[in-house]
Amino acid sequence: MSPHPDLHSYLGDFFRARILRATGLRLRRLESLETALHDCIETECDDLLSPDALTLVRLERELDPGCALARMSPVTLLPAVLRRFLTWIPADATNRRLQLQILAAILKAALADRGLVDREDRLVFTIDALTLDADIAEYRKDFERERRALAALPQS
């Protein structure tokens, strides 16, 4: 059995630490973001698993459907899962900004945790995470460019 956390535990710990420090609207936005991320994992990430792992997830969903894929998935899938979530674009600009900030923070924490993945998985995990980090930076630039363009439009 691996000493490393599953996706559900890892993300739960990450969000719990931030939610405990948040209040008001930011608290609600963080809780909503966490829910959306888990929805993304459960609806968009089946194809990231091997056929055998997916069979186990399907059985787990029959027993306890809440976050079954996240509970049954290794944390090594984190970059691929976050890449999928990056494409879930909230309509609200503040929520999008928070989504990009949180995705970057999750990656930063994962990369800083040298014991998170086994040594043999570390190189691929790091490359995937750094590539995703660059993609997040591009999304941030696009977001800021769109925000500035909207702000420059004449107010009616």
Instruction: Provide the number of structural domains found in the chain.
Output: 1
Taking 90 as the threshold, does the pLDDT of residue 154 lie above it?
no
Residue range of the domain that includes 45? 7-150
- Predicted TM-score (pTM) of this structure: 0.86
What confidence tens digit (pLDDT) does each residue in 70-102 have? 999 999 999 999 999 999 988 888 999 999 999
pLDDT band at 1 (very low <50, low <70, confident <90, very high): very low
Asked if residue 156 belongs to a domain, the reply is: no
Query: How confident is the model over 117-142, as a mean pLDDT?
Result: 91
- Say how far apart CA 55 and CA 114 lie, in whole Å: 30
DSSP string for 121-156: HHHHHHHHHHHHHHHHHHHHHHHHHHHHHHHHSPP-
pLDDT band at 4 (very low <50, low <70, confident <90, very high): low
- Say how far apart CA 26 and CA 95 lie, in whole Å: 9
Asked if residue 80 belongs to a domain, the reply is: yes
Asked if residue 19 belongs to a domain, the reply is: yes
User: What contacts 114, CB < 8 A, 6 or more positions away?
Assistant: none
- The number of CA neighbours under 13 Å toward the Cβ of 20 is 6
CB neighbours of residue 47 within 10 Å:
8
Asked if residue 2 belongs to a domain, the reply is: no
Taking 90 as the threshold, does the pLDDT of residue 115 lie above it?
no
Asked if residue 116 belongs to a domain, the reply is: yes
Instruction: State residue 140 phi and psi, 5-degree precision.
Output: -65, -45
Q: What DSSP designation does 114 have? A: T
* Amino acid 3: pLDDT: 58
Instruction: State residue 45 phi and psi, 5-degree precision.
Output: -120, 10
Asked if 34 contacts 15 with a C-beta cutoff of 8 angstroms, the reply is yes
Asked if residue 112 belongs to a domain, the reply is: yes
- Say how far apart CA 73 and CA 48 lie, in whole Å: 9
- Say how far apart CA 9 and CA 71 lie, in whole Å: 7
Taking 60 as the threshold, does the pLDDT of residue 131 lie above it?
yes
More confident residue, 42 or 3: 42
What confidence tens digit (pLDDT) does each residue in 13-34 have? 999 999 999 999 999 999 999 9
Asked if residue 86 belongs to a domain, the reply is: yes
What confidence tens digit (pLDDT) does each residue in 51-70 have? 999 999 999 899 888 899 99
Residue that the structure tokens 């968009």 belong to: 44
Asked if residue 155 belongs to a domain, the reply is: no
